[in-house]
Structure 1
């Protein structure tokens, strides 16, 4: 535990809570890319892939936090090494899969940094749900299928599991609309059963997306009655997202094509064409 008086009197660096996006390095924000390529210290989760870490300067210190979402529910909000560097006056990029504020503990870490008077900034990233929707062609909302979407986690904190508080997923999510479950692969069978018991039809479409946006992405489509068996047969690896709802039937698989850079004849930016009116 770091004493608050010491923390306030020490020179402090900034901590950047940066979203690494769903996996594909081309889906990083410009802000995230700039911070990664110039950072002196980068602390990263296990979910951050080697393609993104390759952008980090070879002179930067890399700290493998080793935390996957849901695997360390009672761990401290901020890794001690991150606080140590920041309180020593170093800027630190705290790199997280997806978006820091969507099941990335960004809120908890921001609160702890604020309490210790450590300046911080949140840099949003494309959440895994949005990446999976784009890469599979499943619209999370659709005028003819769903007017709402709910993001939920299938994992609870250990305290909630012991007390039973909020343990029923069906009690935590709406009975209608699209449902996107993070960290839901290991409890998929129980989740599907609970949703059916809560009123969703057995034939409700369901999809599991593994390694969304990456070259080894895999997709299994079924319904609530059969999705657990289908995923088990496919032996999908984590991380994976579960999408439940009628929008799954509206899937339009994106055309895989290589897009050439927009360049002019001289290799620079393409010239702007003036359109003559009238």
Structure 2
């Protein structure tokens, strides 16, 4: 730990660690970690990220839905305590810190204590999931936008799924696996049963898993394939553009691997003829 810092107030960096692949970190993130005195590490961040902060004291402050978590108030006190000692505190958050990462609460607490705060953006798991599927969340043939949603409101209720379905945007649903059956049922009241849907678990990581299905089979297929948290649920016609569904987005591709082999042979024949 750097012991040359004076007694003046230090600072806190809210650092977005992205979906897990360290290659996706920004240069700004790497520089912040290299200068860190204290790293508060989130459970959803790749633990190997600490190798980029060789001089820092590492404190694990995990927060996972459905698991025992470090209280938010305690994390805020830790940031204040070390920053007020003149240290550079890097609060490492999985994904994008400003998207469902409680950054608003932490910013308010730090600013209230007169502590300078820097924000380093990163790649959210919703974008990593889309990249894995090979789709655009805002494909203009299908929608005019994307809605990022948490399935858990502050009062432990659920969002207005009917209103969200009416937006005709691609729905990127975070923290929804424990409610996947109820949210799918609610969306089916407003959307067609064959609306394309997907689940991407550990998006952007080495162990990423992807499920392509349709809204009326979403919950059943996810359960059958053993999908769980952390995962992003994507719903909307743009999901049907996934390269894993084939050029026509046919359900046949999901259920009949022979169709892919046939199409591959046709493509090879076309290449041979062109040559």
TM-based fold match above 0.5 = yes
Post-superposition Cα deviations, 1:68-91, rounded to whole Å, max 9, x if no partner, equal 368669732843222210111111
Q: 1:64 aligns with which of 52, 60, 65?
A: 60
Give the alignment's TM-score, normalised by structure 1. 0.79
- What is the CA-CA distance between 1:242 and the residue it aligns to? 0.3
Structure 2 counterparts to residues 225-264 of structure 1, below 5 A: 225-252=216-243
Post-superposition Cα deviations, 1:12-54, rounded to whole Å, max 9, x if no partner, equal 1100001001111110011001111231110011001123233
Q: Quick one: structure 1 residues 70 and 56, their matched pair in 2 at CA, closer, same or farther if it must change by over 3 Å?
A: farther
Q: Quick one: structure 1 residues 45 and 184, their matched pair in 2 at CA, closer, same or farther if it must change by over 3 Å?
A: same
Q: Quick one: structure 1 residues 127 and 77, their matched pair in 2 at CA, closer, same or farther if it must change by over 3 Å?
A: farther
Q: Quick one: structure 1 residues 49 and 110, their matched pair in 2 at CA, closer, same or farther if it must change by over 3 Å?
A: same
CA distance, structure 2, for counterparts of residue 130 and residue 105 of structure 1: 19
Structure 2 counterparts to residues 1-278 of structure 1, below 5 A: 11-57=8-54, 59-68=55-64, 75-76=72-73, 78-157=75-154, 160-161=155-156, 167-171=158-162, 173-175=164-166, 176-197=168-189, 199-252=190-243
CA distance, structure 1, for counterparts of residue 162 and residue 71 of structure 2: 23
CA distance, structure 2, for counterparts of residue 182 and residue 206 of structure 1: 14
CA distance, structure 1, for counterparts of residue 56 and residue 109 of structure 2: 25
* Residue-pair matches, total: 236
Asked if the contact 1:154–1:169 (Cα under 8 Å) also holds between the matched residues in 2, the reply is: no
Asked if the contact 2:195–2:237 (Cα under 8 Å) also holds between the matched residues in 1, the reply is: yes
Asked if the contact 1:169–1:191 (Cα under 8 Å) also holds between the matched residues in 2, the reply is: no
Asked if the contact 2:151–2:159 (Cα under 8 Å) also holds between the matched residues in 1, the reply is: no
Q: Quick one: structure 1 residues 19 and 77, their matched pair in 2 at CA, closer, same or farther if it must change by over 3 Å?
A: farther
CA distance, structure 1, for counterparts of residue 82 and residue 70 of structure 2: 24
After TM superposition, the runs of 4+ consecutive aligned structure 1 residues lying more than 4 A away are 69-74
- What is the CA-CA distance between 1:105 and the residue it aligns to? 1.1
> Unaligned regions of 5+ residues in structure 2, if any?
1-6, 245-275
> Unaligned regions of 5+ residues in structure 1, if any?
1-9, 254-278
- What is the CA-CA distance between 1:168 and the residue it aligns to? 4.0
CA RMSD of aligned residues (A): 2.0
Q: Quick one: structure 1 residues 92 and 112, their matched pair in 2 at CA, closer, same or farther if it must change by over 3 Å?
A: same
Q: Quick one: structure 1 residues 223 and 44, their matched pair in 2 at CA, closer, same or farther if it must change by over 3 Å?
A: same
DSSP 3-state at the match of 1:186? helix
Give the alignment's TM-score, normalised by structure 2. 0.80
Post-superposition Cα deviations, 1:127-163, rounded to whole Å, max 9, x if no partner, equal 1111111122121011211111100000122xx23xx
CA distance, structure 2, for counterparts of residue 131 and residue 16 of structure 1: 23
Q: Quick one: structure 1 residues 76 and 148, their matched pair in 2 at CA, closer, same or farther if it must change by over 3 Å?
A: same
